[in-house]
Structure 1
Amino acid sequence: MDEVDRSVLAVLEKHGRISNAELADRVGLSQSPCLRRVRRLEEAGIIRGYRAVIDPAAVGRSLRVFAGVRLMRHTRADVVAFERAVIRLPEVTHTHHVTGNYDYLLEVEVADLPAYEDFHANRLAGLPGVATVTSYVTMKTLSADTT
């Protein structure tokens, strides 16, 4: 991967729907070599896909909570059981297996605080192997996805 590939990736990361002509212009290539580079990056798995970034509030998920989850035990069977169960929860938008105070850090999107309370008590806390859940309610999000 060279500097031109890095430039292509930087532009696509912020503007995934950009036309090939505009992309080529921004990175200083003609259209055909630019398209070949993008296809090569896709085939190599460096570009894993394209997605739409949805405003959570517009679809009834205006509350974002980060939940730190500790498991009771760390046997392979317990970890697999938890992971299989957590990925089925539509409220959980991202699941990270982490080091530190928690075993997992979950990003959860729900309508409001009562909806999170219900989710926490009736779904999350009952997942296989869950010992504790610590919740952090997001007050404001600052990221590239919000622009």
Structure 2
Amino acid sequence: MDELDRRLLALLRADARAPVAALAAQLKVSRGTVQNRIDRMRERGEIQGFTVRTRPDVEAQRVRAIMTIAVEGESGPRVLRGLHGFPEVVAVHTTNGRWDLVAELDTGSLGEFSELLDGVRRIPGISATETSILLATTRL
């Protein structure tokens, strides 16, 4: 992946529905170059899909949060398998420091959020969690 690919990915993150011609104009390359690079990144798995971002008020009832997780001993793989069983866990990151894992959570309501917390905390191998609800987001 070179600098042009990274710039193209940045533009797609901002607006994945941007027309290829508009992307090409912003990058000062041909439309064919942009399309070929997108196709190549998809084939290599570097682009795994496209998503929709909504205004905060469109889905105001959604509850998004970050959960930090401490894992007992060598239980990391078991905990990861357990987390994969919850569709509301949208990403899991390994990290250093006090916490072993950081999970991104996205639920449709506070009730679903509460059930998710209970379910995650029952996964064998988790010794502690701390969860912060995301109240507002500023896109950069």
TM-score norm. by structure 2 comes to 0.78
The aligned amino acid for 1:63 is V
- Which one of 63, 80, 86 corresponds to residue 83 of structure 1? 80
Q: Distance in 2 between matches of 1:60 and 1:91?
A: 16
1:61-117: CA deviation from partner (whole Å, max 9, x where unpaired): 5222221111222x2xx22211111111122122112111111111222312x4433
Contact 1:56 1:62 in 2 (8 A): no
Distance 1:101 1:59, change over 3 A: same
Distance 1:10 1:139, change over 3 A: closer
Q: Distance in 1 between matches of 2:91 and 2:56?
A: 14
1:31-86: CA deviation from partner (whole Å, max 9, x where unpaired): 2233233333434444343223356875685222221111222x2xx222111111
Q: Distance in 1 between matches of 2:139 and 2:82?
A: 29
Which of the pair is proportionally richer in helix? 1
Sequence identity of aligned pairs in percent?
Answer: 23
Point out where structure 2 has 5 or more consecutive residues left out of the alignment. none
1:95 corresponding residue in structure 2: 92
| Helix, strand or coil at the partner of 1:139 | coil
- Alignment root-mean-square deviation, CA: 2.6
Q: Distance in 2 between matches of 1:71 and 1:6?
A: 34
Point out where structure 1 has 5 or more consecutive residues left out of the alignment. none
Q: Distance in 1 between matches of 2:15 and 2:34?
A: 15
Q: Work out whether 1:70 is the aligned partner of 2:70.
A: yes
Q: Work out whether 1:138 is the aligned partner of 2:124.
A: no
